[in-house]
Copies of this chain bind each other. A is one copy, B any other.
Amino acid sequence: MIWQAEDIYLDYSNMMAEVIGDEHGITFEEIEGIRDKAGEVHRRVQHERGDDKLPFLNLPYQEGIGEIKCVVDDLRGSAHTLVVLGIGGSALGGRALIAALGHPFHNLLPAEVRKGPRVFFLDNIDPDTITGLLDVLDLSQTVVNVISKSGSTIETLSHFFLFLSLLNGRLGPDWRKRVVVTTDPSNGPLRRLAEEEGLVSFSTPPGVEGRFSVLTPVGLLPAAFIGIDIEGLLDGAALTDKWCREEELEANPALLNAALQYLAHVKKVKGISVMMPYADSLREVADWYRQLWAESLGKKKDVQGRLVYVGPTPVKALGVTDQHSQLQLYLEGPYDKVITFMALGSFSHFLKIPEGGSWGEETAYLEGKSLNELMEAERRATEFVLTKNSRSNCTIYLKELNPRTLGGLFYLLEVQTAFAGGLYGINPFDQPAVEEGKRLTCGMMGRRGFEGEGEEIRGWIKGRNVYKVPR
């Protein structure tokens, strides 16, 4: 039970009743039972795409890549450091790209070896982190890429105003040459600033939510800074697009995996979705996926407005590391999880434990073995024991990690999320619940127009002190 293409396959055998039994595995009848609904969801997505309502699907064919490369070529010479200011979807894609395809200790390499500037993503407002970053930055050689789709994200603006003042202090009017803005093409404070000050800027494509924006300038610009082949990413996504247009469930990996994950959740009560790559390079891809899956599918109302409170909880784990942390729970705890392994057919490097390098007979078996085969042995052993214990799991396998396969993987998981939204019957492209918290924060920070919210939350905090009974 494998969907397979040249560089990638999805093995879902261990989610199936035939392998792990009827209680926890999906039966062929259950797959038959969802076939029509899946077909309908697929047709609706194709239809909306035709109506230009799902612009993220057309990102593999975007223009403007030349412009990104031009700007990056221009700036790389003078930039020892790139600081990306953004949060959520404005940071997770770029982070994932650079962790996957960059050197694992990129920022520690000497400048002459490093492919491009040091890169830092500031995606929290912790004052200690930012102060610490300023200790290691040479502001005179720093480029800032500020990213906010709306142009008004409070965390990002706070960072940005701080950096503007620092760059201005160091460089005077030349600060304008060190800032690149990525924001809405026509609206919001950041767009206005970019226009007034004549800054280099890129547009976030309208209608593409942050969590679907890794293959826009949001993710591509930081990636290009360290020399990642961004055209390769898009080529890989375009190839995946072909598969994701297939009508037949078993021929379409995004539709198939959406259906399997959905069935495991609603038919087999597995509400926790663990993404467990067996490669450090994919660790931040799991983080990126965590936002994609949670924010898209965690919804109170379905598209008809009925209360449903749905959404699987994504969890990030790392093989083999988390075998020594989470595996005990996955093997013996409640049967409430589906584990998705991500595996690589090969790593970039081959590392052998030296002959004669062990001490004593007990450990001699390791001599001459490679870490590559150990990694593979541990993954297969983990897969085997989970399966033996009827624990639902599947594997997304990439022959190797390169821009094409990574671009394809991003696209695959995005389209899968769109399909899953259809199966759950919710809108995967909004995030209505987070607005109230944002308004309350603005209220506490004294933003005009949010006085009511400010009063509401201050009143609440004050009221709570009655609970404070000192010992």
| Chain A residues near B (Cβ < 8 Å) | 1-5, 11, 13, 87-89, 92, 103-105, 107-109, 113, 123-133, 135-136, 152, 154-155, 157-158, 161-162, 164-165, 189, 192-193, 196, 210, 251, 271-272, 279-281, 290-291, 294-295, 297-300, 309-311, 313, 315-316, 318, 320-321, 323-337, 347-351, 353-354, 357-363, 365-367, 369-375, 377-378, 380-382, 384-385, 389, 431-434, 436-438, 440-448, 457, 460-461, 464, 467-471
Contact = CB atoms under 8 A, between A and B. Distances in A.
Nearest to A307: B332
17 contacts: A2-B468, A4-B470, A104-B128, A107-B108, A113-B135, A124-B320, A128-B348, A130-B371, A161-B358, A161-B366, A291-B324, A294-B325, A366-B445, A381-B437, A381-B438, A381-B440, A385-B437
A347 B381 CA distance: 44
A332 B280 contact: no
Give the number of times this chain occurs in the complex, counting copies. Answer: 2
Contact of A370 (B13, B127, B323): B127
A271 B280 CA distance: 28
A109 B128 contact: no
> Closest 3 interchain pairs by CB?
A88-B324, A298-B329, A311-B333
A359 B158 CA distance: 11
A457 B129 contact: no
Nearest to A155: B320
Given A436-B385, A467-B2, A127 B349 contact: yes
A127 B351 contact: yes
